[in-house]
Amino acid sequence: MGSFILEQIVNGVITGSMYALVAAGMTMIFGVLRAINFAHGEYYMLGTFGAWLVISKLDAPYAVSIVAGVAIAALIAALIGRLVMQRLVGAPFQAGVLATIGVSLILQNAVILAFGGGYKVFEGGWIEPVQIGSFGMAQQRIVLVVTALAVFAGLEWMVRKTRMGKAIRAVSQNIECCHVNGIDVESVVRRTFLLGTALAALSGVLTAPVNVSVYGGMGESITLKTFAVIVMGGMGNVRGTLIAGILLGVVEALVSGLIGLQYRDSVGFVALLLMLMFRPHGLFTQKARF
């Protein structure tokens, strides 16, 4: 039993890294914009599609497709950032909800229109399994976990040491003061949005080899799951999402393994509800701001 539990924990860390990566993006966007990005999963999908396109039409190697996928998603995100997200600064919360739902419908269905609704098989990636101790996993999984940790370390550094990072923190804390201080809020919003969606796209490309199936509607379930993670981690709290993501992955794995896979999604939302009942500001934030 002990090794079974350990194995589920390993499974959970793997899945959780992916959750954390996507959630980091959404929570950053929330931090600067106070808007919940209902279209976040679509950028995950765009990254995957971009990579798939490059591999299947141009025969590019997987490593190249990672860059290509993220780049394509980032381009589209830049456009949307300028046209839509930037205008949501200072708008009421529901405007963000409605606008991002609209964006998600457009992105999903534009992809379906362009490539057809049928699912595609993602070829490429490092899917050969390796043994780590007594656990077998595809090499891709290790890449994912390592990348996630690297990204979080990078974000941590960025937020503490770079100008952009400090600007992000400033906008997250108090927008009026930013205007007073001469920080270009709109620019910060755009760049944070770009970064956040790029993280989602990166996550998509890195999991595509093991998730195999690529289709226009694949982002929906990602968005929903990510909501749970950012609430648990504390909305706007990047560090918190890393731990929350991995924690969620682990609990989901344990529940799936011990009770049943059909309850997997409810874990996240039960955890979310419990969290909100007892610690609304998330596990890792001091006080409730939202």
- Contacts with other proteins in 121-180 (CB under 8 A)? 121, 127, 129, 136-138, 141
Distance in Å, CB of 161 to other proteins, minimum: 29
Choose the binding region for other proteins from 142-150, 160-168, 195-203, 207-215 (rule: CB under 8 A). Answer: 207-215
Does 36 contact other proteins by CB under 8 A? yes
Span interacting with other proteins, options 2-10, 144-152, 159-167, 185-193, rule CB under 8 A: 2-10
Beta-carbon contacts of residue 2 (< 8 Å; ≥ 6 apart): none
Site for other proteins in 211-250 (CB under 8 A): 211-213, 215-218, 220-221, 224, 227-228, 231, 235
The answer to whether residue 204 forms part of the interface with other proteins (CB under 8 A) is no
- 71 part of the interface to other proteins, by CB under 8 A: no
Choose among 132, 181, 51, 219: nearest CA to 227.
Answer: 219
**Exposed e or buried b for every residue in 45-63, given b needs 16+ CB within 10 A?**
bbbbbbbbbbbbeeebebe
Select the span of 62-70, 91-99, 181-189, 239-247 touching other proteins (CB under 8 A). Answer: 91-99
Query: How far is C-alpha 232 from the chain's CA centre?
Result: 14
Of the residues 61, 63, 75, 109, which one makes contact with other proteins according to CB under 8 A: 109
Using the rule CB under 8 A, is 87 a contact of other proteins?
yes
- Least distance in angstroms from the C-beta of 178 to other proteins: 20
8 near other proteins (CB under 8 A): yes
Name which of 165 and 280 has its Cβ closer to other proteins: 280
